[in-house]
Every structure is written in structure tokens, then in C-alpha cells.
């Protein structure tokens, strides 16, 4: 059964296709980045609101950090229920509302997109579904260009969403060589595609723990946490390495996994220091890092543009978590209780 899943798993095939998807993106991407640049340059946008659920909301959290960091635009992830259930009203005349939905079919997100536009927002839909009803309603549509993704667990569509968000920031900073850099990223992914992380390295008899990150790494830790829950039935909770010190660290003990995710940005570089105390409370410590030393369990090759490291890390993580789930005797193509499109409204 395990061998069959390793060779025939659909979600694994989709995850392994990420280098090809990124390469294809270099040639097909015709999304309207410059139109957003023009909006920002004309001071039409003063803040950004994101609306998403699940994996897409992890991408939205990622966007909130980079929009604030690089563009100086305050960003807020709005729970859809504020509009769908609470019927709250806003003056969105200076807002850019970004709806992120891989399927583009969730009824609550469709309603949020329509209501946000009626309240004056400029709206973007980022989706892998060019036939979504939101496409014709939103001011701007950004196609994820991931190709059809049939699996319940999103993989390549998340990576592509990160890439779109990074490219949007680069274009808004008027970095004209971004397309050449994405081609270089594609080449780097292909070059490393046969270097897989060891699916036996993590104790799969322990089902709880933390994953600590900071900055964009915290956004990635939320998606990694979701995949541990979704595919492996493990309660690996994401925390900022700074925030975990304010109380949650009391949960840590020897029967507790601790994943430490360090990125190369300023926030990410503090994670090891933040985690130095709590690393004394358990021996089950696993490090994600671009430093290839004896303490690194999950090494990813850093790119010369720091922002692309997120794409590289996730392109390595997804095949690993799928193989890890299979090693646990679970079928990652059929996560328990889950469906591809989740309706919560």
C-alpha cells in the first residue's frame, strides 16, 4: 500500500510538479501588476485588506507582511464573517481588497468580493479558476497559472500564489528584472528537484508540537501547520518565536516536537535566538534552514533574492509532508472528512 501511494499519489505528483509550474509561469504570466503599481503611485490605495480561508489565508498572511514591509501599506486579514454574518459596513474608497481563493467557488468569498466592491474598494481576485464568478466582478484578476489542481490539499497553487504576491511587490518597487529572476528561480528549483528531505527523520509516534517562525516564516509556519493537521493528523501549532515565550512554552516537554523555521530576512534570523531557551525542554527538535550544518534537519538552498526562499522551502516541504503522511499509514489523497471546496456560509 505504501509503495503504491508513493508512486501513484496524485497530490504527490502535483507537489513534485512545482518546478515545472514555476517554469511555465515565466512564459504565460500576463497578470496586471502594472495596473496595481499605477493605483499605488496615484495614491489611490492607502491600505490593503485580504479575504481568504485555509491555505489561501496563509498566503494572505504572507502578503500582509511583505506589503507592509516593502510598500509601506498597512494590511489586514479580514474574517469573511465580518461581512457575511455581521453585515458590517466600511468605507473602502482607499482600500485594495484582495480575495485569494484557489477554487474561486466559496460562497462567502464571492459575497465578500461583491460587497467590498460595492463599498468602494478596488478588488483583486487571485485564483486558479479563470471561470470563477468573481472574475467578472473584481476589478483585477490574477491567474495563479498552476494548472488543474485536483487534490484536496493545495500545494502548487500555494507556491504560485506566493510567487504572484512577491512579483506584485517587486513590480510596485519598479524592479524591472523580476521576470529574469523568476527564470533563475525556476532553474534553481529544477537543479535541486532530486534532493528530497528524509521522511524518516521525524518521530511519527508523537502527534503534537509547535512550529516556530517569524516574519514571512511565521506565515509559512501556518501553512506547514495546516498540512501537518490536514494530511498527518498531527497538532503542530504555529507560533511566532517571540510570542511563544508569553505563555505557550509551558506546554513543551520531552514528548513534544519543536520545529524551528529560520529564514534569511531580519525577522527570520532572530528565530534561533528566540528559541534557544525552549529548545532545552525537548529533544525532538527539527530545524528548517539554509545553513547546511549538522543542526539542520531540513536544508533548503538559499536563493540570491531572499524573498524567493519561501518558494524554494515550500517546494521541498510539500513532497516531504506527503511522503511522511504515507509513512504514517495515511492516504494523503483522501484526507479524513475533507473536500476540495469547503462551504462555510
User: What's the whole-number average pLDDT of the chain?
Assistant: 94
* Number of residues written out for the chain: 345
- The reply to whether 340 falls in a domain is no
Query: Region 15-36: what's the mean pLDDT?
Result: 97
> Residue 156 falls within a domain, yes or no?
no
Is residue 232 within 8 Å of residue 321, measured between CB atoms?
A: yes
User: Which residue, of 125, 144, 163, is where some domain finishes?
Assistant: 144
User: Domain containing 286: what range?
Assistant: 208-296
CATH number of domain containing 282? 3.40.50.10490
198 occurs within a structural domain: no
From CA 243, how far away is CA 262, in angstroms rounded? 15
**Residue 199, Cβ neighbours under 10 Å: how many?**
18
Taking residues 294-312, what's their average pLDDT?
A: 94
Angle ∠(67,62,95) on CA atoms, nearest 5 = 40
Compute the radius of gyration of the chain from its Cα atoms: 20
Unique residue bearing C-alpha cell 517546494: 315
> 142-175: per-residue pLDDT in tens?
999 999 999 999 999 999 999 999 999 999 999 8
Q: How far apart are the C-alpha atoms of 186 and 128, rounded to whole Å? A: 20
Q: Quick one: 133 and 212 in the same domain?
A: no
pLDDT tops 70 at residue 1: no
**Cβ(194)–Cβ(241) below 8 Å:** no
pLDDT range class, residue 272, cuts 50, 70, 90: confident
163: nearest Cα among 289, 17, 18? 18
Cα 249 to chain centroid, rounded: 25
| CA dist., res. 158 & res. 222, Å (int) | 12
Which residues, in sequence order, are bridge partners of residue 211? Answer: 238, 259
Task: Tell me if 335 is assigned to some domain.
Answer: no
CA distances from 206 to 21, 50, 112 (A): 34, 35, 39
Residues 39 and 136 in one domain: yes
Q: Identify the bridge partners of residue 239 per DSSP, sorted by sequence position.
A: 212
Could you give the maximum distance between any two Cα atoms of the chain, in Å?
A: 58
**How distant, in Å, are the alpha carbons of 89, 111, 247 from that of 308?**
37, 33, 33
Judgement on whether residues 222 and 139 belong to the same structural domain of the protein? no
Return left, alpha or beta for 87; rule: phi > 0 is left, psi -120 to 50 is alpha, else beta.
Answer: left
List Cβ neighbours of 62 (8 Å cut-off, separation of 6 or more).
Answer: 162, 165, 216, 219, 220, 310
Q: Measure the CA–CA gap between 112 and 133, rounded to whole angstroms.
A: 12
Domain assignment present for residue 84? The answer is yes
**What pLDDT does residue 2 have?**
72
Map residue 92 onto helix, strand or coil. coil
322 is written with which cell numbers? 506527503
If one counts every other C-beta atom within 10 angstroms of the C-beta of residue 253, the result is 10
Burial of residue 180 (CB within 10 Å: 0-12, 13-18, 19+) is: exposed
Question: Which of 113, 128, 144 represents a domain boundary (last residue)?
Answer: 144
Query: Into how many domains does the chain fold?
Result: 2
122 SS3 class: strand
Percentage of the chain beyond pLDDT 70 is 99
Q: Residue 275 pLDDT more than 90? A: no
Per-residue pLDDT tens digits for 202-257: 999 999 999 999 999 999 999 999 999 999 999 999 999 988 888 888 888 888 99
Query: Is residue 10 domain-resident?
Result: no
Q: Give the integer Cα–Cα distance in Å for 330 and 89.
A: 45
Instruction: Give domain status of residue 250, yes or no.
Output: yes
Torsion sign, CA atoms 77, 313, 322, 127: positive
Q: Comparing 73-82, 169-178, 334-343, which segment has the lowest mean pLDDT? A: 334-343
Co-location of 229 and 132 in the same domain: no
Among 332, 341, 340, 342, CA closest to 10? 332
pLDDT score of 338 more than 60:
yes
In a domain, 101, yes or no: yes
Sequence-separated (6 or more) residues with CB below 8 Å from residue 227: 153, 317, 318, 321
Q: How crowded is the C-beta side of 109, counted as CA atoms within 13 Å?
A: 32
Amino acid at each position: 500500500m505504501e509503495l503504491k501511494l508513493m508512486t501513484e499519489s496524485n497530490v504527490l505528483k502535483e507537489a513534485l510538479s512545482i518546478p515545472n509550474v514555476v517554469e511555465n509561469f515565466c512564459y504565460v504570466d500576463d497578470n496586471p501588476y502594472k495596473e496595481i503599481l499605477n493605483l499605488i503611485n496615484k495614491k489611490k490605495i492607502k491600505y490593503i485588506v485580504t479575504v481568504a480561508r485555509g491555505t489561501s489565508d496563509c498566503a494572505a498572511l504572507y502578503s500582509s507582511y511583505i506589503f507592509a514591509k516593502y510598500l509601506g501599506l498597512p494590511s489586514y486579514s479580514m474574517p469573511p464573517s465580518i461581512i457575511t454574518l455581521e453585515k458590517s459596513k466600511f468605507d473602502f474608497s482607499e482600500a485594495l481588497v484582495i480575495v485569494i481563493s484557489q477554487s474561486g467557488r466559496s460562497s462567502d468569498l464571492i459575497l465578500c468580493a461583491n460587497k467590498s466592491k460595492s463599498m468602494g474598494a478596488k478588488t483583486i481576485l487571485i485564483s486558479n479558476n479563470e471561470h470563477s464568478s468573481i472574475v467578472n466582478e473584481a476589478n483585477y484578476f490574477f491567474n495563479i497559472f498552476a494548472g488543474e489542481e485536483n487534490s484536496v490539499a493545495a500545494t502548487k497553487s500555494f507556491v504560485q500564489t506566493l510567487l504572484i504576491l512577491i512579483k506584485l511587490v517587486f513590480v510596485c518597487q519598479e524592479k524591472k528584472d523580476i521576470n529574469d529572476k523568476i527564470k533563475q528561480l525556476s532553474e534553481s528549483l529544477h537543479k535541486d528537484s532530486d534532493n528530497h528531505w528524509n521522511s524518516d527523520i521525524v518521530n511519527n509516534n508523537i502527534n503534537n508540537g509547535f512550529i516556530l517562525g517569524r516574519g514571512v516564516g511565521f506565515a509559512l509556519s501556518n501553512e506547514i501547520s495546516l498540512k501537518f493537521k490536514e494530511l498527518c493528523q498531527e497538532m503542530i501549532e504555529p507560533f511566532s518565536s517571540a510570542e511563544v515565550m508569553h505563555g505557550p512554552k509551558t506546554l513543551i516537554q520531552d514528548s513534544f516536537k519543536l520545529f524551528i523555521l529560520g529564514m534569511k530576512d531580519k525577522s527570520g534570523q532572530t528565530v534561533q535566538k528566540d528559541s534557544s531557551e525552549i529548545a532545552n525542554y525537548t529533544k525532538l527538535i527539527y530545524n528548517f534552514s539554509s545553513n547546511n550544518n549538522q543542526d539542520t534537519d531540513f536544508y533548503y538552498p538559499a536563493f540570491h533574492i531572499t524573498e524567493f526562499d519561501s518558494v524554494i522551502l515550500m517546494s521541498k516541504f510539500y513532497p516531504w509532508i506527503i511522503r511522511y503522511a504515507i509513512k504514517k499509514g495515511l492516504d494523503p489523497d483522501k484526507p479524513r472528512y475533507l473536500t476540495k471546496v469547503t462551504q462555510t456560509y
